[in-house]
Structures are given as C-alpha cells and as structure tokens.
Amino acid sequence: MRLPEAGKCCGIVTQRTTLMAMHANEIEALIKSALPDASVSIEDLAGDGDHYAATVVSESFRGISRVRQHQIVYAALRGRMGGELHALALQTSAPE
Amino acid sequence: MSAAERIQTEIETNPVMLYMKGNAMFPQCGFSARVVQILTHVGVPFATANVLEDAELREGIKTFSNWPTIPQLYVKGEFVGGCDIITEMFQSGELTTLFAENGIPHKADA
C-alpha cells in the first residue's frame, strides 16, 4: 500500500506567511533546551519554513510509550505545535 | 454536555474512534486522510468525529488528550496517537497487533 507523502496538510491552507513560520534552528534549540542529550535532525519538507520533519533521539525516551515521547517534544515546543508550527512530522526513539 | 463529556462517551462507545478534519468519505486534511486510508486498508470498523464542525470539540480534544494536533485515534478508550505514530505502527505491524489484542475485527496485515 502506498501512503501519501508526509507533511502535506490541508491543501487549501498553504499560507506562505514567513511571519508565522519557525526556523529549523529555533525548533532544534527548543527541543534541546528540554532534552539536552538529544540528537535532533530537522528537515524542511516544503522549503516554506512551515512543514518540517524532525527526528529526535534521546535517552529520556527509553522505556516510555511513543505518545509520551511525542508529548515531551510537544511540551518542549511550548505550544507552538499546531499553532505557528503548522506541520512537524515527528519520529522519536532512544539511542540504540 | 461539555466537549470532554462528549469525547469520554464517544471513546467508550466506539472501540475505534478517530477525531479528524472532515469525515472518512471526505477528509479535509492530508494527515487525517492518511489515517483513514490506513484504517480502511486494515479493514477495521471505525467511527469518526469532524472537529471542523465544532470549535469546542476541536480545542477540547487537544486538551483531553494533551495532544496539539488532529487527527487523533482512540482504541478502546485509550489514546493511541496522531498521524505519525499511526503510520509508524501500521508499517511495523503494531497496529494490527493492537487491534488483535483488543479483540477488534480487522482483515489485513501491513
């Protein structure tokens, strides 16, 4: 089965409001302030500063559910997720 | 009935409950569409609620789940995740395992 491309959201939305957008390094800094040990890689999916994919690897994720792992990252982003940060595809894990 | 009461009732009544933008026939967001596509592929019966029709529900579900985005999937009253987690679980086969463990009929494996 083929899945639609990640990071494409509401079709009609596509506001290119750079005003609202967040920079990748800002996202990384917020995540690292909450999870200092984390290795964070961020990809700007659409080149519009609005649709990102982040991979976060941290020891703090070991032994806890994916929901909890993502909640930790969302908390680190302090309410920006779902607001000025429109789309952030998230993958989290503990180090191998 | 408050949004929280409505959600509590819905997730208790429907073994697989999806909060989404639009409905299963006409999803109004790519992320919601993807979860619908996965659930349909897996062949599990599911109910949906359209958060775009109800501003109180749209905010209420975020608070209820402590989760900032839509879609949100509940299985047997437990929050399972949003689009990324459901996709990951589908690809790893964990999603069908979850349905099997909860005695929810489904047809396909990943």
Q: What domains, with CATH codes, occur in chain B?
A: 3-101 (3.40.30.10)
DSSP secondary structure code for residue A50 in this structure: S
Residue B107 has pLDDT above 80, yes or no: yes
Which chain A residues contact residue B97 at CB under 8 A? none
Q: Looking at this protein, which amino acid is placed at residue A7? A: G
Q: Which CATH number characterizes residue A86's domain?
A: 3.30.300.90
pTM of the model: 0.84
Within 8 A of A9 by CB-CB distance, chain B residues are 29-31
A6 — pLDDT class (breaks 50, 70, 90)? very low
pLDDT tens sequence across B95-106:
999 999 999 998
Q: For residue A79, is it within any domain?
A: yes
The answer to the question of residue A67 being in a domain is yes
Is A10 part of a structural domain of the chain? Answer: no
pLDDT of residue B13: 97
Task: Give the domain range for residue A41.
Answer: 24-93
Per-residue confidence (pLDDT) for residue A7, from 0 to 100: 42
* pLDDT, position A14: 39
Q: Determine the pLDDT at residue A2.
A: 56
B32 sits in the region (left: phi over 0; alpha: psi -120 to 50; else beta) called: alpha
pLDDT at A17: 41
Q: pLDDT, tens digit, for every residue of A71-90?
A: 999 999 988 887 778 788 89
Q: What are phi and psi of B91, to 5 degrees?
A: -65, -30
Of B6, B88, B75, B70, nearest in space to B32 by CA:
B70
**Predicted local distance difference test score (pLDDT) of residue B80:** 97
Quick: pLDDT tens for B7-39.
999 999 999 999 999 999 999 999 999 999 999
Q: How many structural domains comprise chain A?
A: 1
**How far apart, in Å, are the Cα atoms of B103 and each of A31, B16, B76?**
38, 11, 10
Task: Reply yes or no: is the peptide bond before residue B71 cis, omega within 30 of 0.
Answer: yes
Sheet holding B47-50, edge to edge: B47-50, B16-20, B72-75, B78-81
A48 occurs within a structural domain: yes
In this complex, the residue of A3, A10, A82 whose CB is nearest that of residue B28 is A10
Whether A45 is covered by a domain: the verdict is yes
- CB contacts < 8 A, A to B, total 55
The reply to whether residue A66 touches residue B85, judged by beta carbons under 8 angstroms, is yes
B29 to A91: CB separation less than 8 angstroms, yes or no: no
